A = this chain, B = another copy of it.
């Protein structure tokens, strides 16, 4: 049985709580959150309102905003167990030195939607080898994909995730904006969007690239730049087109 305490009950903390609660050999001994409202429909959760009353646990997970990790770990009294954060973009060293430190980073974007942890890569780091064993044992109960990834590599992984998630979502948003100007519904693009994502399980994105930029189709590029005249998206189109051409060795 591994005992877990969770600090923070935003999307990450909540999904972790729910996932751990289904495990037989794991017990969530407490959840700390300043925001009481979040617990209204979760009366079964052992909520703690003061950080210094957080009971001991084998693993204490700090699931708060990146820039609050240092302060929270500092405020948290010294513990017997391991203290980890869940951030892709924050070094393990952000956690106060008084703790036995580690990282438990599930590589997923959490919203209110239900997710299955089985497929989600969980990237672990720990200062001490025996702490790492505890983290592995916890993570492998949740997911089949558990990795040892240090802070430097994790930063690179998080950067790649910014392109594949944040930036990709922004391009969906651009599409939505362009369509809505012509009273076209964004749902028209959904089969295309799903196919673009799902195709990656069969071919790498470098092979899946299509469109005017990789064809070197200057006529279409000019026409589409013209359609974007006067919008904030024209220069984005230009830059992405150039980047595709450059990446695939085309001249435009």
- Which A residues are within 8 Å of any B CB, using their own CB? 66-67, 89, 107-109, 111, 113, 115, 119-121, 145, 147, 153, 155-157, 159-179, 181-182, 184, 186, 188-206, 208-214, 217, 219-220, 223-224, 227-228, 232-233, 235-237, 239-240, 243-244, 246-247
Contacts and interface: CB of A to CB of B under 8 A. Distances in A.
Contacts of A164: 171-172, 175, 189, 192-193, 196
Contacts of A235: 239
Nearest to A219: B67
Contact of A209 (B107, B113, B169, B196): B169
A240 B236 contact: yes
A231 B146 CA distance: 29
Contacts of A214: 166
A123 B166 CA distance: 30
A162 to B, nearest CB: 6
A162 B212 contact: yes
A224 B162 contact: yes
B171 A167 contact: yes
A192 to B, nearest CB: 5
A contacts with B: majority SS? helix
A149 to B, nearest CB: 8
Given A156-B184, A168-B193, 4 more contacts: A113-B199, A160-B174, A160-B178, A163-B174
A213 B166 contact: yes
B247 A202 contact: no
Given A162-B211, A189-B107, A236 B228 contact: no
Contacts of A202: 113
Contacts of A156: 178-179, 181-182, 184, 227
